[in-house]
Chain A
Amino acid sequence: MAKQSNPPVYAFHGGIHPPENKAQSLALPLGKPSLPGELVLPLGQHIGQASRPLINVGDRVQKGQAIAINNGFLSSFLHAPTSGQVSAIESRPVAHPSGLSDMCIILTPDQADEWIELEPLENWRDISKTDVLAFLAEKGIIGMGGAGFPTQVKLQGAHKHPLTHFIINAAECEPYITADDMLIREKTLELILGIEILQHLVEAKHVVIGIEDNKPTAIAALEKLLKERQSSIQVAIVPTKYPSGGEKQLIQLLTEKEVPSGQYPADIGILCQNVGTCVAVYEAIKHGRPLISRFTTLTGDALKAPQNVEVLLGTPISHLLDYADLQDKKLTRLVMGGPMMGFTLDSSDVPVVKTTNCVLAATKKELPQPAPEQACIRCGMCEQACPASLLPQQLLWFAKSQEHEKAEHYNLFDCIECGACSYVCPSSIPLVQYYRHSKSEIREAREAAVKSDIAKQRFEARKARQEAEAAEKEAKRLARQSASAKPAAKKPAKPAPEAPTPAAPAVDEAAKKAKIDLAITKAKLKKLEKALLEAQEKEHTEEISALQTQVDETKKDISELETKVASTPVAPTKKATAPAMSDEAKKAKVDVALASTKLKKAEKQLAEDPDNTELKAKVSGFSADLKTAQEAFEKLGGNNTKPATGSKPVLSDEAKKAKVDVALASTKLKKAQKQLVEAPDNAEIKAKVAGFEKDLKEAESRFAQHNTALADNATPAVKPAMSDDYKKAKVDVALASTKLKKIQKQLADDADNEVLKTKAADFEKALKEAEARLSSLDNNPAPDTPPAKKPTMSDDYKKAKVDVALASTKLKKIQKQLAEDPQNSELQGKAVEFEKTLKDAEAQLAALDVPVTPEPAKSKAQATDEDATRKLKIDAAIAKASLKKAEKALSKAKELNSEDTSSLEQQVEKAKAHADELEHALQNGTASAEPVAQANEQSAEFKERLKKQKVAAALAKAQVNKLKRLLAADPEVESLQQELAAAEKTQQDEEAKLEQLTNTQENR
């Protein structure tokens, strides 16, 4: 063989020399069995997901017509091996070690063997390689060596690294099998041309055909042809030793390189293809012929005429056994594949598939029953035979004692299950079986670990969500508390300023939830993808398909969640023309609350019953409702001039990330704030809060940036920032008021404490500032509306109240002292002074109280109006709900072909009409509320003046009273008398002014 430069051949560890038994099947020429009565074509003939049928039962198909399409990345096409009719698509026993059944397309041939028009890929050299790969995929080409790995996927993977070697595996090391040998002999040219096509696709430095030296005829044919063609393809003749045809072993034989554990040959720049695959590639590209037949060895002593046959896929084994003259009585073991790695078949009804290289019909003498297993004496023969250099005897020990970790440590997963160890074992221990069992147990344990990881993640996410919700609740509670601390008198103005508070968190909450869900789902996807990759690497067929489906599902979930996240917090507006009225806002709020409640309920149901499509539809409907409601509400909360962009702002990943950051930061902030409320003097927490605030702001600004960059509509970005500021301000108010209260309480106990007083004053100031900020934020969305004034007013009011309380406390104390010591003039003076202060304070309080007590008629009217609107809205909501209910009932009835469809239809109509009516009324009401609101605005201004006037009047009155009292105490003082007179005059003036104003107001 030295005449041509044969590439060097190296060695691999271990290996065995079982009797070859190859001569039997080479005695006869290639056979061509007749068409069987029916062809059984399993949908899963390859690694990966099963194909999807393209035809229906009863369809007539032509030879070569695609009858099943690939179902995902790791899947393949399937073609009709002959023309005929699809008689069934059903579960049939298939050729699989499990012996289980699988879905098959059953084809009844019409004996016409009529080809579909074939379209060869003539220009494969000119078009892009991806197109050629796609073409190969459509022709159903998969690795025909054994694993059935889709060829296009393998070739794609080969582009990862520049290839040094393209190895064509013609070693065929298993005893008995001669299919590849026969194929090389019969189709030498096709093989070489196929290799050339593949070489064009992969562009490897060396192309080597690896063939065992027990196939001299094939080697001679190859070398002759290669010499004729002056081809650069080399033939490497490797010594006959099992398992030299194993991919990893052949690579070691030809390149001396080892495929790193857990990696592909492509990772070290090597690609292996089986000879059958090369021929199939040639036939697909040159003739357009899909993979519908293959060479299979029929052998074994139970056959009278062992031979190789070119057989149509789907041909039942029994048909082939008949063809090869089976002696039924002799047959004890029917093996698909070789005696080393093949698997036994329960019956001969299973069909030939794309990877069936041999059918071994063995007699009892040929493949005797294994001897009973004896104890392992650690003789080490298995170790000497192991081509992966493992320690099978140790692995057996660990497998038996279920020490999986140790087994893994001893590289159990590098076992290629070649069976060499079992073959040589003097104690007849079925070692490979032990390893398979251990491997599957380890895999199961890994899957369980992944599952528990996911469960843990879910639990943690849920906890985080619950904490966030609790923090939100707490913030809301504080906000409510500070709100209720304000005078409860401003009824008409109340809903408008309150509106943003409860609704905004609702929106936030939904958004947050969606975001958290999204994050969880993404994490899940990542994990799944990793698992999938692992499974693909280790070629765990069963896992791959399951994981792929899971990944797909998760991806779908993610896209859903993403749209949800994108739409929930910053939904664009639709009704741009609608006026921004307080009742409108309220309506929106009610709608939002209603919709979100419904949505939540539906989601909860959905969570319990995830497959319910009806519920899913409901959820999507509700979320749409919620979106609309939120849009409406947001528009009211924001500026009236907000543009009505219809397009949804699709958030970039970064923006999304920023959003999540915002949510996170705000959660942290809230928590810290809560702690701060509990311990207001803790500097550490304060610093923390400040830090979190900064974080939050940064995150917000980042988010805003991303958001603005994405959508020209800037409002969505402003909005959350605003609402957060608002929340913050509120929390500040709550904090300050808490502190103030505390100090006041202390002050009440110890009225003369100057320090406390200054502190109280400080806190009051702080409170005021915070409130001012809050009010300014309140003002922002709807500037110059009366509600904005409220907080300032209430502030004054509170202050006044505090003053009153203080003064009265002091007075009481002094009076008590005075009672004990009536002669003390100093005390008397003090008492008088305190009385005065008290009166002043009371006057102030009264002044603050006064403006609210006489309710303006208009505002009353508005209140009634609003009440009516609210009622209307609730009616509308109810009507809508009943409409939906009726519609649902109708659809159900239709589904069930019920007879009262018509009556239900009527009901729906009625409900629709009612809902429309209400909606109409509601809109009218809203419209009529508009002027009222405008008037309201004016009246608010007026009220403000009135209030001021009242205060002035009260003050004057107080002054008068004071002077009078002083005068009573000391009637001789002239200056006091004069002062009194002046004060009385001022009082009169002020009261006159007040009267005037009141009159004006009444006139309006």
Chain B
Amino acid sequence: MSLLRITSPHTHRAGRRTSWVMQMVMLATVPGLITQTYLFGYGTLINLVIACLTALASEALILKLRNRPIGFSLSDCSALLTAVLLALALPPTVPWWLTVTAVSFSVIFAKQVYGGLGNNPFNPAMVGYAICLVSFPVPMTQWIGASEIIQAGAVPSFSDSLAAIFGSLPAIDSYTMATPLDAFKHKDGMMSSEAYASIAGLQSANLVSWMYVNLAYLAGGLLLIWLRIITWHTPVAMIAGLGLMANVFYGLDPDNAASTIFHLTSGAVMLGAFFIATDPVSSCTSNRGKLVYGLGIGILIYVIRTWGGYPDGVAFAVLLMNFAAPLIDYFTQPRAYGHKKAKKGLTIGGEK
């Protein structure tokens, strides 16, 4: 009789593995994916496939270089999740090489170079996104408009999407249109009411389709909270931060500032709140820390959208707060059992 010698505990929660967590997050993106595909055509799906293949290939390559077990690490699905999130964040018509660049950069430089899963200080997907946004601003800001208001009168077909991604689609301009955020940013001194009336990107059809996208991601996010994969702290704090800023400035200057609803339902707010900012590796870890972290992201998003150079600021806001996460972690430790108050900072040796 050879008995196992293992330290306690001897039992583990069945099923809930890291790969399961990743798969659940990917699953939760499905409503958003469907909505985006429905509203903007098959480009997102095609991008998704390209991104996933690129992610697996680059992860495998680096794992091989690092002499790590390839199958073991690939099976945790973390690279796939990065690819999925990137594919959802990229415009549906970006050329294939842009997707490949973004994904491979995220996996190789933002994750594996730091030591692989769990060791990356920055959100890999957002690193890849930001690199492309900075490097290739034009294709990164071309979004398909709502079908009612674009020239083509319908979302691009599968072949058109393929053509746009892999070759060049001369008629691409008939599909694309400035996103509401982009349009609002470049209203050039017009009053809000004028802008809503005159700018194509700010027509209600466009606003509504973006709202649907955000609502879909909200639904997926609620699923994650229900599954206890994420806690409510980060998304709520982030939405609250953005909402608060928008509310304050809209209250101060309703003629020029965008409304709270406009801010919360446009761009990548919900995707960012529930899927990007909640990346556990690069975010804050304690509940209080998550609140601070989320609030910071929300505020930064508003700041970048309103006064920065980019129409949307989720990627930069998340990356900036990634920087701050370790510091926030030090100052937001929970009060441990038996301690009168929570410890703060790292005053080592100072207390007993």
B6 CB to closest chain A CB (Å) equals 6
A262–B228 alpha-carbon span in the complex (Å) = 33
Asked if A344 meets B4 with Cβ closer than 8 Å, knowing A423-B12, A426-B18, the reply is yes
Asked if A346 meets B339 with Cβ closer than 8 Å, knowing A339-B9, A370-B12, A375-B117, the reply is no
Check B337 against A13 for contact (C-beta < 8 Å): yes
Partner of B72, one of A262, A337, A372, A376: A372
B336 CB to closest chain A CB (Å) equals 4
Q: Looking at the complex, which of B149-157, B162-170, B293-301, B327-335 is the stretch in contact with chain A?
A: B327-335
A411–B336 alpha-carbon span in the complex (Å) = 7
Asked if A426 meets B281 with Cβ closer than 8 Å, knowing A333-B10, A389-B334, A409-B343, the reply is no
Check A419 against B9 for contact (C-beta < 8 Å): yes
Check B337 against A388 for contact (C-beta < 8 Å): yes
Q: Looking at the complex, which of A252-260, A289-297, A512-520, A767-775 is the stretch in contact with chain B?
A: A252-260
Per-residue CB proximity of A374-390 to B under 8 Å, as 1/0? 11111111011001111
Check A380 against B12 for contact (C-beta < 8 Å): no
Check A391 against B333 for contact (C-beta < 8 Å): yes
The answer to the question of B8 belonging to the interface, with a C-beta cut-off of 8 Å to chain A, is yes
A447 CB to closest chain B CB (Å) equals 17
Q: Looking at the complex, which of A116-124, A430-438, A460-468, A557-565 is the stretch in contact with chain B?
A: A430-438
Check B7 against A432 for contact (C-beta < 8 Å): yes
The answer to the question of B308 belonging to the interface, with a C-beta cut-off of 8 Å to chain A, is no
A258–B339 alpha-carbon span in the complex (Å) = 8
Check A406 against B285 for contact (C-beta < 8 Å): no
The answer to the question of B78 belonging to the interface, with a C-beta cut-off of 8 Å to chain A, is yes
A12–B337 alpha-carbon span in the complex (Å) = 9
A711–B80 alpha-carbon span in the complex (Å) = 89
Residues of B within 8 A of A328 (CB): 1
Q: In the complex, which residue of chain B has the Cβ closest to the Cβ of A411?
A: B336
Partner of A341, one of B9, B72, B336: B9
Check A260 against B3 for contact (C-beta < 8 Å): no
Asked if A379 meets B10 with Cβ closer than 8 Å, knowing A258-B338, A411-B339, A424-B16, the reply is no
Asked if A375 meets B116 with Cβ closer than 8 Å, knowing A259-B338, A260-B338, A409-B347, the reply is yes
Residues of B within 8 A of A340 (CB): 8-11
Residues of B within 8 A of A419 (CB): 8-9
Which applies to chain A's interface (DSSP): helix, strand, loop or mixed? loop
B85 CB to closest chain A CB (Å) equals 15
Check B334 against A426 for contact (C-beta < 8 Å): no
Check A342 against B8 for contact (C-beta < 8 Å): yes
Asked if A430 meets B7 with Cβ closer than 8 Å, knowing A377-B117, A383-B286, the reply is yes
Of residues 320 to 354 in A, which have CB atoms within 8 Å of B's CB atoms? 328, 331-335, 337, 339-348
Per-residue CB proximity of B264-307 to A under 8 Å, as 1/0? 00000000000000001101011100000000000000000000
Residues of A within 8 A of B21 (CB): 377, 379, 426
Check A342 against B10 for contact (C-beta < 8 Å): yes
Asked if A393 meets B285 with Cβ closer than 8 Å, knowing A328-B1, A372-B72, the reply is yes
Check A261 against B9 for contact (C-beta < 8 Å): no
A393–B329 alpha-carbon span in the complex (Å) = 12
Check B7 against A343 for contact (C-beta < 8 Å): yes
Per-residue CB proximity of B1-39 to A under 8 Å, as 1/0? 101111111111100111011000000000000000000
A624 CB to closest chain B CB (Å) equals 47
Asked if A97 meets B7 with Cβ closer than 8 Å, knowing A370-B12, A389-B337, the reply is yes
Check B336 against A344 for contact (C-beta < 8 Å): no
The answer to the question of A645 belonging to the interface, with a C-beta cut-off of 8 Å to chain B, is no
Of residues 71 to 90 in B, which have CB atoms within 8 Å of A's CB atoms? 72, 76, 78
The answer to the question of A492 belonging to the interface, with a C-beta cut-off of 8 Å to chain B, is no
The answer to the question of A128 belonging to the interface, with a C-beta cut-off of 8 Å to chain B, is no
Residues of B within 8 A of A99 (CB): 5
The answer to the question of A968 belonging to the interface, with a C-beta cut-off of 8 Å to chain B, is no
The answer to the question of A199 belonging to the interface, with a C-beta cut-off of 8 Å to chain B, is no
Residues of B within 8 A of A343 (CB): 7-8
A430–B12 alpha-carbon span in the complex (Å) = 10
Check B280 against A414 for contact (C-beta < 8 Å): no
Check A379 against B9 for contact (C-beta < 8 Å): no
The answer to the question of A907 belonging to the interface, with a C-beta cut-off of 8 Å to chain B, is no
The answer to the question of B309 belonging to the interface, with a C-beta cut-off of 8 Å to chain A, is no
The answer to the question of B229 belonging to the interface, with a C-beta cut-off of 8 Å to chain A, is yes
The answer to the question of B348 belonging to the interface, with a C-beta cut-off of 8 Å to chain A, is yes
The answer to the question of B203 belonging to the interface, with a C-beta cut-off of 8 Å to chain A, is no
Q: In the complex, which residue of chain B has the Cβ closest to the Cβ of A416?
A: B337
Q: In the complex, which residue of chain B has the Cβ closest to the Cβ of A370?
A: B12
Asked if A333 meets B4 with Cβ closer than 8 Å, knowing A339-B10, A378-B285, A379-B229, the reply is yes
Check B229 against A346 for contact (C-beta < 8 Å): no
Residue among B13, B118, B286, B343 having the largest count of chain A Cβ atoms under 10 Å: B13
Q: In the complex, which residue of chain B has the Cβ closest to the Cβ of A17?
A: B13
Check A261 against B5 for contact (C-beta < 8 Å): no
The answer to the question of A589 belonging to the interface, with a C-beta cut-off of 8 Å to chain B, is no
Check A426 against B285 for contact (C-beta < 8 Å): no
The answer to the question of B198 belonging to the interface, with a C-beta cut-off of 8 Å to chain A, is no
Q: In the complex, which residue of chain A has the Cβ closest to the Cβ of B329?
A: A394
The answer to the question of B138 belonging to the interface, with a C-beta cut-off of 8 Å to chain A, is no
Asked if A375 meets B339 with Cβ closer than 8 Å, knowing A343-B8, A422-B12, the reply is no
A913–B307 alpha-carbon span in the complex (Å) = 113
Residues of A within 8 A of B346 (CB): 406, 409
B13 CB to closest chain A CB (Å) equals 5
Check B338 against A367 for contact (C-beta < 8 Å): no
Asked if A389 meets B335 with Cβ closer than 8 Å, knowing A380-B231, A426-B17, the reply is yes
Residues of B within 8 A of A441 (CB): none
Per-residue CB proximity of B114-135 to A under 8 Å, as 1/0? 0011110000000000000000
The answer to the question of B189 belonging to the interface, with a C-beta cut-off of 8 Å to chain A, is no
Check B337 against A332 for contact (C-beta < 8 Å): no
A386 CB to closest chain B CB (Å) equals 9
Asked if A248 meets B18 with Cβ closer than 8 Å, knowing A18-B13, A380-B280, A411-B343, the reply is no
B206 CB to closest chain A CB (Å) equals 37
A335–B5 alpha-carbon span in the complex (Å) = 9
Q: In the complex, which residue of chain A has the Cβ closest to the Cβ of B22?
A: A377
Partner of B280, one of A370, A372, A378, A430: A378
A362–B4 alpha-carbon span in the complex (Å) = 10
A13–B334 alpha-carbon span in the complex (Å) = 11
Asked if A261 meets B339 with Cβ closer than 8 Å, knowing A377-B281, A432-B7, the reply is yes
Per-residue CB proximity of A807-833 to B under 8 Å, as 1/0? 000000000000000000000000000
A342–B286 alpha-carbon span in the complex (Å) = 29
Check A175 against B11 for contact (C-beta < 8 Å): yes
B66 CB to closest chain A CB (Å) equals 13
A334–B5 alpha-carbon span in the complex (Å) = 9
Residues of B within 8 A of A374 (CB): 17-18, 76, 117
Q: In the complex, which residue of chain A has the Cβ closest to the Cβ of B279?
A: A377
Residues of A within 8 A of B20 (CB): 426
The answer to the question of A4 belonging to the interface, with a C-beta cut-off of 8 Å to chain B, is no
The answer to the question of A708 belonging to the interface, with a C-beta cut-off of 8 Å to chain B, is no
A425–B348 alpha-carbon span in the complex (Å) = 28
Sample 22 A-B pairs with CB under 8 A, ordered by A number. A16-B13, A328-B1, A331-B1, A333-B3, A333-B4, A333-B10, A334-B3, A371-B17, A374-B17, A374-B18, A388-B338, A390-B337, A391-B286, A394-B285, A394-B329, A414-B337, A417-B8, A423-B13, A425-B12, A428-B12, A432-B8, A436-B7
A-side interface residues toward B, CB under 8 Å?
A: 12-13, 16, 18-19, 97, 99, 175, 248, 252, 258-263, 328, 331-335, 337, 339-348, 360, 362, 367, 369-372, 374-381, 383-384, 387-391, 393-394, 405-406, 408-411, 414, 417, 419, 422-428, 430, 432-433, 436
8 nearest A-B residue pairs (beta carbon): A419-B9, A375-B118, A261-B338, A388-B337, A411-B336, A339-B11, A375-B117, A339-B10
